[in-house]
Structure 1
Amino acid sequence: MTPSELQAYLHAHIPLSAAMQVEVAAVAWEHVLLRAPLAPNINHRETVFGGSASALSILAAWSLLHARLRSSGIASRLVIQSNRMDYLLPIAGPFSARSSLEDPDQWPGFMRLLERRGRARLKVTAELMAESGVAGLFSGEFVALGYETARI
């Protein structure tokens, strides 16, 4: 999946991503990098609204699993079950979120469980970045529901 394909998918299927002007900067097996400008995500203090920071992190984490499953030829519904967001610094400009699996070694077991039971869960993390450095840390548990070969 290319960055432009993922971006088109997000904007079409998750309208909030279009309203936030989310840009997909990179899609790789190991990570997804999303970016967003300040203007549509600003709060009353002229910094990034916490909900936008959290949403970008969730989108990056969800996108990583979505891209991995698509690359593996698997179609399933992905939902977030739980998450934690730690805000470390205010963000006064463009910001990004870079996701990765909390434990990449769990991927094969996740896939086996999804195939066998039609349901599996996995933890994904993301670093929220500002020009000044790491501005937040995200950790979320996602559940994949259903298992079928994707029509790619």
Structure 2
Amino acid sequence: MNCCRSPKNSAEFTKYYQLRWKMLREPWQQPVGSEKDDLEEQSYHRMIINSKDEVLAVGRLERNGQHQGKIRYMAVSETTSGQGLGRQLVVELEALAQQLGITQIVLEAREKAVGFYEKLGYLQVNKSHLLFNEIQHFTMQKSLSAHDNHHAELVNELQNTWHDTIPMSKAMNIEISYYDKAKLITHCDPAFNKNLHQTMFAGSIYTLATLTGWGWVYLQLKQAELEGDIVLANADIKYRAPIKGTAHCQLDFEEVIGELTSLKEGKKAKMQVMANLYSGDKVAATFHGQFAVLPKKSS
């Protein structure tokens, strides 16, 4: 059975890039290595792989900014052409983009692929570059609706609370792009949060992670119909790699320890969370925080 996911290890990445080169570079006598660029480390890679660990199709999503993404390097194996794998891959990349808060996808389509993308809702913008003096490309784009969030009202309340009470969160333009009780994803404006090295400022990474953790506790309080003052009691962050593009922060329910029922008895509650900052598919920083929730004093 086929599975669409990101490559898990170096061996799978080798197969991933091999198919990209074989379909997009080898026919035009381009050397191995020409199938890669400088954005590989900060992009989202997806492949369709079968039960025999054969890579059947590949594609990449990169971010041009906080709300725009670009699909590139789409390739399907000759042996599986016509089986709908290309469509499956685009749908997967679009769903990922929606979770990340991307509202517009752009791409450069080869002339023979224009019809394929038009069937998926992409519109031609203009005639683009000529690759290898032979392959005409066309710029195409598609608007994506916001992720269908059943907790939209609650999420908007949290985001407005940040922007109204924490000036830094508004300046960073911290936004929530996804929440489903099991996962919370946030992101911020990459241009505002860059340092002199053109990577994400460490203080911005810490702020985004801290507010994501605080926000998780806030959402749990609201859903449990409880009240309390949330304070950060202890925190630690490990910076693993520089973030050159647009980061997103993700907090998963499995990484949360603690509960809030003690608030019903007027006692303090505690929650420990872990959140990861991602540059593309890779974890660039890991935040551990312990939050205390203090019961509201009756007036």
Partner of 1:44: 196
Q: How do 1:1-152 residues align onto structure 2 when only pairs under 5 Å count?
A: 1-2=151-152, 3-101=155-253, 104=256, 106-107=257-258, 110-131=259-280, 133-147=282-296
8 Å CA contact retained: 1:74, 1:147: no
Q: Paired residues, what number? A: 145
Deviation of the 1:103 alpha carbon: 5.1
Is the contact made by 1:127 and 1:138 (CA closer than 8 Å) also made in structure 2?
Answer: yes
Moved over 4 A (4+): 101-104
**Higher alpha-carbon deviation: 110-119 or 75-84:** 110-119
Larger fraction in strand: 1
Residues 94-149 of structure 1 deviation map (CA, whole Å, 9 limit, x = unaligned): 11111235655x54xx323222242111101101011251111110000000158x
3-state SS in 2 of match to 1:86: strand
Change in 2 beyond 3 A, CA 1:20/1:103: closer
Work out the CA distance in 1 between the residues paired with 2:264 and 2:239.
36
Q: Is the CA contact (8 Å cut-off) linking 2:270 and 2:290 kept in structure 1? A: yes
Cα deviation code 1:69-108 (max 9, x no counterpart):
001111110000111101111001111111235655x54x
Aligned residues with identical type, % of pairs:
26
Quick check: 1:118–1:147 contact (8 Å CA) kept in 2?
no
Larger CA Rg, structure 1 vs 2: 2
Task: State which drifts further: 53-62 or 36-45.
Answer: 36-45
Q: What secondary structure, in the 3-state scheme, does the structure 2 residue paired with 1:118 have?
A: coil
- With the length of structure 2 as denominator, give the TM-score of the two structures: 0.46
Amino acid paired to 2:215: S
For residues 45 and 26 of structure 1, do their structure 2 counterparts lie closer, same or farther at Cα, with a shift above 3 Å needed?
Answer: same
Amino acid corresponding to residue 127 of structure 1 in structure 2: N
Higher mean displacement: 5-14 or 84-93: 5-14
Q: What's the secondary structure of 1:65's corresponding residue?
A: helix
Name the CA shift for 1:40/1:60 in 2 (closer, same or farther; >3 Å): same
Q: Distance in 2 between matches of 1:17 and 1:142?
A: 19
Unaligned segments of structure 2, at least 5 residues: 1-150
In angstroms, what is the RMSD of aligned CA positions? 1.9
Segments of structure 1 that go 5 or more residues without pairing to the other structure are none
Structure 1 range deviating more: 22-31 or 121-130? 22-31
User: 2:232–2:290: 8 Å Cα contact kept in structure 1?
Assistant: yes
Cα distance in 1 for partners of 2:255, 2:243 equals: 28
